[in-house]
Amino acid sequence: MTQLFSRRRGQHFLLLLKYWRLVFNDHFVIALFFMFGALAWGYSQALNQLNSHLWWSRPVAIIVLLIILQVGRLATLVKPADPVFLLPQAKMMTHYFHQALHYSLILGELMTLAFSAVLMPFIMATSTYTVDTVIAIAVVMVTLKATEMNWLLARLFRFTSKTETVIILVILPGVVLISGFYLSWIVAGIISTIVMVVSWQVQRRVTQRLLNWRLAVAQEQQRMLGIYRFFNLFTDVPMVQGVVHRRRYLDWLVKLMSQSKQPFSYLYARGFLRGTEVSGLIVRLTVVGMAILFFIPIFWLNLLIMVLFIYLLTVQLIPFYWHFDNHVFTHLYPVSQIDQLKNFQSLSQKILLGATLLLWLASTGTTVNMPQQGAKLLVGVCESLLLVYGYIKYRIRQKK
């Protein structure tokens, strides 16, 4: 039993490793290189224009730090079958969960520090802080994260209300950070340290009680689903089964996307808009692309990234062709595969042109340059059409 957690952790690492290898494939590394380059460049440019007299810099810093604190959850690695198989081990589980806490704490603190470090240049540029203050901020962040982790673990052993969740995750760190920025970082550091010690004491006592298995399993599954979703952006993850929503408000779009009297078009349009997997992916990728394009004023780089994003969207869209393949009726309907391909191309064309339009609008940035925008639109539309009628067809034929 004492080795259960370390064994699970080993398995978990192997799983992550397997997926990380798939994430960092050649295409993605190149895309990542551009994206980070663009972001870092934009960030450093933006910092030059800042000074210490901006009223909004401190509220923005507080909000970003609060968001950073939400990254990194309690990883318990419990599995749905555990409540059944480990039922007689209820007492031993306290030890297991303490190991889980240590593991999550280390990872959580590292992430908190890393993300906070990214924000530090902004805080330095908009204030008169010295290095001492920066260290104090880091200490506050670390103690706040530890408090949060203690509470997250204690929550599995007692009942908590929604209000309490908001207090611990938002209001408490919010108050501490506000007092740091507007009052004194020494005061903030003292408050957060005291709270952390108290939370640790409470956690030690509470974890002797009975475990709320259902919550523990549900929470861990939610967390794993988040991880799988992330990996699913880059590769197929079998564990991710999309959730389906009715989305009545999108019915007009369903109509727009499906051709009349075409069974596959009917299926694809509804599957795309009501499923969460593919449509979510396309929407997220488009939004990220828009954000990046908005901040890049250099014409050729902007164009290159737009072309890249349209290609990435196409690559993500292609597997949807086979979305209904494991459904027996898809094979039974008297419909030819040529029609299926045509219907899919029609849907892809609508999606890609829509996304291209959005990317193009965002790429305008803050100043409009008509000839450049015209060129970008032309390139984007041509690329979309080429991908739909050349590349998609080629990839689908190839797989058959």
Partner 1 sequence: MTLKVEHLIGGYSQIPVLKDVSFEVNDGELVGLIGLNGAGKSTTINHVIGLLTPFSGQITIDGVSLQEDSESYKSQIAYIPETPVLYEELTLKEHLELTIMAYHLDEHEAWKKAQRLLKIFRLDNKLDWFPINFSKGMKQKVMICSALMTNAKLFIIDEPFYGLDPLAVHDLLYEIEQVKKTGAAVLMSTHVLDTAEKYCDRFVLLKDGQVRAQGTLAHLRELGDGPDQSLDEIYLALAKEDRDDSTI
Alpha carbons 315 and 289: distance in angstroms, whole number: 15
Minimum Å gap between C-beta 238 and partner 1 is 16
Q: Is 328 in the site for partner 1 (CB under 8 A)?
A: yes
Among 108, 189, 271, 289, binds partner 1 (CB under 8 A): 271
H/E stretch holding 221 reads: helix 213-232
Long-range contacts formed by 263-268: CB under 8 A, 24+ apart: 263/333, 263/335, 264/335, 264/339, 264/340, 264/343, 264/344, 265/343, 265/346, 265/347, 267/324, 267/330, 268/320, 268/323, 268/343, 268/344, 268/347
Q: How many residues are present in the chain?
A: 400
Q: Is 167 in the site for partner 1 (CB under 8 A)?
A: no
Among 333, 369, 382, 394, binds partner 1 (CB under 8 A): 333
Contacts of 71 (CB under 8 A, 6+ apart): 108, 111, 112, 115
Among 53, 162, 246, 397, binds partner 1 (CB under 8 A): 246
Q: Is 280 in the site for partner 1 (CB under 8 A)?
A: no
Q: Which is nearer to partner 1, 34 or 324 (CB)?
A: 324
Q: Is 256 in the site for partner 1 (CB under 8 A)?
A: no
- Locate all alpha helices (DSSP H) within 71-170, ordered by sequence: 82-85, 93-125, 131-155, 162-166
Q: Which is nearer to partner 1, 8 or 323 (CB)?
A: 323
Q: Is 342 in the site for partner 1 (CB under 8 A)?
A: no
Minimum Å gap between C-beta 96 and partner 1 is 34
Q: Which is nearer to partner 1, 83 or 280 (CB)?
A: 280
Q: Which stretch binds partner 1 (CB under 8 A): 13-21, 69-77, 107-115, 239-247?
A: 239-247
Q: Is 324 in the site for partner 1 (CB under 8 A)?
A: yes
Minimum Å gap between C-beta 389 and partner 1 is 24
Alpha carbons 30 and 24: distance in angstroms, whole number: 9
Alpha carbons 245 and 69: distance in angstroms, whole number: 30
Q: Which stretch binds partner 1 (CB under 8 A): 63-71, 166-174, 268-276, 302-310?
A: 268-276
215: nearest Cα among 168, 160, 284, 144: 160
Q: Which stretch binds partner 1 (CB under 8 A): 30-38, 131-139, 259-267, 314-322?
A: 259-267
For residues 185 and 136, the answer to whether their CB atoms sit within 8 Å is yes
Specify burial of residue 345 (Cβ count, 10 A radius: 0-12, 13-18, 19+).
middle
Q: How far is CA 262 from the centre of its chain?
A: 35
How many residues interact with partner 1 (rule CB under 8 A)? 22
Minimum Å gap between C-beta 261 and partner 1 is 6
Q: Is 18 in the site for partner 1 (CB under 8 A)?
A: no
Minimum Å gap between C-beta 220 and partner 1 is 23
Minimum Å gap between C-beta 241 and partner 1 is 9
State in Å, rounded, how far the first CA of the chain is from the last one: 48
Q: Is 329 in the site for partner 1 (CB under 8 A)?
A: yes
Q: What is the contact surface with partner 1 in residues (CB under 8 A)?
A: 242, 244, 246, 261-263, 266-267, 270-271, 274-275, 324, 327-329, 331-336
